[in-house]
Chains A and B, each alone.
Chain A
Amino acid sequence: MDVLYFAWVRERIGLPKETVTTDAATVADLVEELRAKEERYAVAFSDLSALRVAVDQELTDFDAPLAGAREVAFFPPMTGG
């Protein structure tokens, strides 16, 4: 699936998008896999309360299942308007 990063999450990880092969059942499981990859991921995902997640372009939470998901995006709380 495609994993997207925005704002300071993108800057900390150092890329806007990557394709990940995973069997993660939930967003939280995917986060654990990403954290284990490299230090920069561990840093970006160190405090989940500072992050928001969208699965297939819909806001959701870290318990959300990933079955059938094509796109997961991680970003800080939004600042529109």
Chain B
Amino acid sequence: MRVVVQEAPFDFGAEAEAFASGRHDMGAVVTFTGVVRDFGGGGLDAMEIEHYPGMTQKALEKIASEAVERWSLGDALVIHRYGRMEPGEKIMMVATAAPHRKDAFEAAEYLMDYLKSRAPFWKKEHSASGETDWVAAKDEDEDALTRW
């Protein structure tokens, strides 16, 4: 299991390639990547992500450990960036490896659901017109946790 919190961009291809390599007992690897999305018409200049340095790593490790245990994963990877990012930049990725695809998919969804609402990150949108807005948490993101 590996959890990385960093400001710098990460190399998705290299991370995905290296993940769970050398394991011959994992039949399924699932990866998910979150990307800064422009809300249409070039309106978004940048996304700024603030985090809680003392807590972020621990919170992510706890979430990842729970996924590894619950789905008996062979490996799990979480990379999450903070700081300023432009549309199209990758914000974060998760990867899960399991003997079978169902477990790998479910564990990846679990990681994403918990990362959204239980990891101490806050997104702020900087619009091209110079306005800034904190992204509000959605009720549906909180509701998504109840299925686990």
A→B interface (CB under 8 Å):
4, 6-8, 54, 57-59, 71, 73, 75-81
Contacts and interface: CB of A to CB of B under 8 A. Distances in A.
Max chain B Cβ within 10 angstroms of own Cβ: one of A7, A59, A79: A79
Given A6-B122, A54-B120, A77 B137 contact: yes
Max chain A Cβ within 10 angstroms of own Cβ: one of B91, B119, B122: B122
Nearest to A71: B54
A2 to B, nearest CB: 10
B52 A79 contact: no
16 contacts: A6-B122, A54-B55, A54-B120, A57-B58, A58-B55, A59-B59, A73-B52, A73-B120, A76-B122, A76-B134, A78-B119, A79-B122, A80-B117, A81-B112, A81-B115, A81-B121
Contacts of A78: 116-122, 137
Contact of B92 (A57, A58, A81): A81
Contact of A77 (B112, B115, B117): B117
Interface of B: 34, 50, 52, 54-55, 58-59, 80, 91-92, 112, 115-124, 134-137, 142
Contacts of A4: 52
B122 A75 contact: yes
A77 to B, nearest CB: 4
B61 to A, nearest CB: 12
A58 B135 CA distance: 22
Contacts of A54: 52, 55, 120
B124 A77 contact: no
B123 A6 contact: no
